[in-house]
Structure 1
């Protein structure tokens, strides 16, 4: 795995050499000796962080920071101010910089500071992410929020559940608890692509009732960034087809735009109450 890339910006070759010596081995390093050079390199190398001096020829660090903050493609890059000018550095912190280290630099302070800023940046990015389990049914691929999923099982033996609609007529027991099987292909009006023995069961729970959605394939979980997910309220249309109220959002993936649904919402609360009674009755038999 490649090392995170840092862009060091300072008009002093001595400062750049010191920073490189302290950080090399932990990070890949690029340097710039002017603000304009830094702005030219930043979109090319997409650094994990920029260490930025303030007093430089052609363009000061304050102006470099302002340009970075104004650019939607660059403003996510954390900037660490390296300067002897405390008041200017504090102003930069108010304007988007993530940290400040005063000159003269100490090696024992520089590396921990960079590590902290990068970890905080990663934590902030993760906080807005959505973990998703994508499944396929016939030719349809859709995703479930991973937090809604309790288990993923291979297709198992089932027995009839004679009370639900046509897509909800089977059940099985999991750890002694009854689980209803919802045939997602039937629910969406498509044909399964896999024979019964090759299918998977994705177990979810709503209001204390466990439901296993029968699907053809299950992919490994994926983590989507916040800007890769368009919430339901920003989508056109009113009913959203067969997915109805279960649709949560649409995700941008390498495989195209895919719907994200709440699998628990595929069963109405009224049906759920009947289902709970039926499951208890069947389990007692």
Structure 2
């Protein structure tokens, strides 16, 4: 059985590398370092009839915000998006993103790799 695919998007190179390394034992991992690159990689993967199961998405990217990218991903396919943020987001904003099916979960940085793996697995179930 093929491993699920996780797309990780973070504009901090060290975090992107760390998340990808933690995930690659259990998942096929794609990475993107900007909102635009995330959408392009997601679209390209879908056009090749390959599924992306989970997107780990930083909230504050250099070229966009994670809430905007999360809703675009929802419109493109059926990946389950987990937002990562170094900032405490307003509860109303998070609830709105969840009720609009843009995200399934949010994690506040710093994130332990064990928690990251647990949350990705939970999103897949």
Measured against the shorter chain, the TM-score band is: 0.7 to 0.9
| Residue ranges of structure 2 left out of the alignment (5+ in a row) | 46-50
Deviation (angstroms), 1:55: 0.8
1:66-121 CA-partner distances (Å, limit 9, x unpaired): 2223x2x42x21100111122158624422310111101101111011101110xx
- How many residue pairs were aligned? 116
* Matched residue, 2:12: 12
- The answer for unaligned runs of 5 or more in structure 1 is 120-285
Local SS of the residue matching 1:87: coil
**From 32, 56, 60, the counterpart of 2:61:** 56
Deviations 1:227-282 (A, max 9, x none): xxxxxxxxxxxxxxxxxxxxxxxxxxxxxxxxxxxxxxxxxxxxxxxxxxxxxxxx
SS of match in other structure, 2:89: helix
* Runs of 4+ deviating beyond 6 Å: none
- Structure with max Cα Rg: 1
TM-score, normalised to structure 2, is 0.84
The reply to whether residue 87 of structure 1 matches residue 89 of structure 2 is yes
Q: Distance in 2 between matches of 1:111 and 1:89?
A: 24
Q: Which has the higher strand share?
A: 1
After superposition, the C-alpha distances for 1:192-214 in whole angstroms (9 at most, x for unaligned) are xxxxxxxxxxxxxxxxxxxxxxx
Instruction: Write 1 or 2 for the structure with the bigger share of helix.
Output: 2
Change (3 A) 1:92 1:34: farther
Q: Does 1:107 align with 2:113?
A: yes
- Given that 1:93 and 1:100 are in contact with CA atoms closer than 8 Å, whether structure 2 keeps it comes out as no
What is the distance in 2 between the residues matched to 1:8 and 1:56?
Answer: 12
Give the equivalent residue in structure 1 for 2:72: 67
Whose RCO is larger (CA < 8 A, sep 6+)? 2
Superposition RMSD in Å: 1.7
Instruction: Tell me the SS of whatever aligns to 1:86.
Output: coil
Classify the secondary structure of the residue corresponding to 2:59: coil
Query: Are the counterparts in 2 of residues 49 and 80 from structure 1 also a CA contact under 8 Å?
Result: yes
Q: In structure 2, do the counterparts of structure 1 residues 12 and 48 end up closer, same or farther at CA, with 3 Å as the change threshold?
A: same
